[in-house]
Amino acid sequence: MMREYTAVLDRFEEETAVLLVEADGEAVDELLVHRQELPPSGREQGAVFELRVCGDSLRALSYRPTETEERTAASQSRFDRLAQDLPTADDSDERTDGGLPGGE
């Protein structure tokens, strides 16, 4: 029986690519493949792939550039929102006592 999954390139360990296999949006497994088995355009961290598996054997691995771009943009957007929420030295809760505990 052929099954399909989404996988994301997490990292490289020497010549091995570590793909995080997802089911229902959650990482459920890792798949190790040789770097050369990945399409050249998908050999970057965060690249998204479609996997086709039959039994325990990988049958097909397809790079999904549109999904990769969408996830990268969403991640950058989350980072930007979080960075905007960080307090700055100009915030109203700035200490006026030199910043030392107890006002010393």
Flag whether pLDDT at 104 surpasses 60. no
Question: Is the pTM above the cut of 0.95?
Answer: no
Q: What is the pLDDT of residue 88?
A: 66
Please tell me the distance from the alpha carbon of residue 36 to that of residue 27, in angstroms, as a whole number.
23
Report the percent of the chain where pLDDT is more than 90. Answer: 50
Q: What is the pLDDT of residue 96?
A: 52
Question: Model confidence over 73-85: pLDDT tens digits?
Answer: 888 888 878 888 7
**Closest among 91, 43, 86, 99 to 68, alpha carbons compared:** 43
